[in-house]
Structure 1
């Protein structure tokens, strides 16, 4: 009887150990399971760090699964964000202001390194904005592109009435028409601006030269609240990509970037990469300029404060 009791105890002990082991393994699996962030990118230099972080495996190193989606126009990107198909995206302060005014709560989480260029088209002899008076300059309406052009006009004591704004939302189409002589000028993000210059156009001015930086990264408020640690992990991977970009000759990765982002092949020879900055909160002055522009054009009625739109997720 004692032997039978001893055997029963041993069997019970083994079963308990097995159950405990299974439970522990399940807990470990749950804890290491990656969460997905869906991020929208545009064909510009702001998107390159995300491409590098993906291709170099930095996202995986930080335990986050990032799905990158590519868009040719800001309108398409914003539609995807507001329909719930994206957690966040490479964007700008104007788009963030529009979203908030429309009842869709987004948060700016960091600034980006984009540059927006006013280019005089092929065959255009204008070397300054003043010389482009009365000419057709293409923009995407009510976007960062138009904002940059208006800032340039103001600096030159000019108004919208001094030029003819031609609305072409899709960036590749704008570039093609500029190079084909169908436009006098256009505002383009990098690398499209450099490509146009490489192909015979002229750089008139840029947001970098004006020392304004309205380019930002945005996330939905829901993602900021419910995926905070995942977003912070994404930014750790992003900063690794910045270190790589700033220390690696661009010819070593440009083919990859062109293929992945669908950039024109001419990008490889035309673009000089910027010195990227690691993720950081945007300047308050840049937000003030952006919201003032939206208010002045009566596109947004509320004067949202910096604290209303910017998340401190990077500092907490």
Structure 2
């Protein structure tokens, strides 16, 4: 009997010490893995990571830069990433293929319409008939269509999926199988030379967003709220910083190389917002009209409101 009491007391003390130890321990960080293309739109997230802001918020954030959008999407679909930065057309294709994704915050990916140096027109209303390099049935195709409609012109679209190949076609004379203009993502657009005819950021037209797997959102809503609030803190810091103070992060994460990082000017970033419903629905309507999707997905059905 005495032995049972001793054993009971020993187990009670052990349990008490275990509870105390757990209570005083450091809470386990929640992990968020996201994928980006090599774009300047990733800068606020890279900055927050490198400055330790996510870690201070109790988050373990992993950022992967992809050179191929299909590989990025496959990583999300396969569960190797929790979310990604993508455009609305790519999102529409994924939804059409029954990939359960949730839209969170809009991102500021810049796309530019760049003119060949040999092309003399500088006014978009005078560019009727121009050969324009684009990515057929993608977000760039949508933007070129919108530019043409708004300026009452028509273009001969030339589908060139490869961004480097599209950029290279701008240095070929238009009379010799070259392009008059091409639409490119930044920083490729800035590095292409030539006249910058148009960009979506100046037009306040955002067509990209961070999206996450629905399963992840359902299980980690509080972590995502921390993630976006912390990213907003990073954006506020970036507004007070000089480019030289964080350009090394851009090189480290393979967004630009050491040879090109000084050739661009990073755009001003704005605090995070939910995607614009009209802009999103316009893209879905265009996809539906062009038989790219079988239904018009609505933003209200797909959004996680991390501000609530």
What range describes the TM-score normalised by the shorter chain of this pair? 0.7 to 0.9
Comparing 82-91 with 180-189, which one deviates more in the overlay?
180-189
Any idea what SS the aligned residue of 2:61 has? strand
1:244 aligns with 2:240: no
Q: How much does 1:33 deviate? A: 1.2
State the Cα deviation string for residues 176-212 of structure 1 (Å, max 9, x = none): 4435665442211222222223xxx111111123331
1:174 aligns with 2:160: no
Judged with a 3 Å threshold, the aligned counterparts in structure 2 of structure 1 residues 9 and 180 are, in CA distance, closer, same or farther, namely farther
Name 1:137's counterpart in structure 2: 132
Once the two structures are superposed, the pairs formed by residues 12-51 of structure 1 within 5 Å of their partners are 13=9, 16-26=12-22, 29=25, 32-51=27-46
State the Cα deviation string for residues 270-298 of structure 1 (Å, max 9, x = none): 32322212222011111121111111211
Name 2:186's counterpart in structure 1: 190
Structure 2 residues without counterparts, runs of 5 or longer: none
State the Cα deviation string for residues 107-129 of structure 1 (Å, max 9, x = none): 11011122210001343333244
Q: Contact (CA 8 Å) 1:117, 1:205: kept in 2 or not?
A: yes
Q: Contact (CA 8 Å) 2:127, 2:153: kept in 1 or not?
A: no
Comparing 259-268 with 74-83, which one deviates more in the overlay?
259-268
Q: C-alpha distance in 2, partners of 1:27/1:96?
A: 42
Q: How much does 1:84 deviate? A: 2.1
Q: How much does 1:303 deviate? A: 1.7
Any idea what SS the aligned residue of 1:16 has? helix
TM-score (norm 1): 0.85
Q: C-alpha distance in 1, partners of 2:165/2:56?
A: 38
Q: C-alpha distance in 1, partners of 2:31/2:215?
A: 14
Structure with the larger helix share = 1
Q: Contact (CA 8 Å) 2:40, 2:255: kept in 1 or not?
A: no
Structure 1 residues without counterparts, runs of 5 or longer: none
Q: C-alpha distance in 1, partners of 2:185/2:103?
A: 20
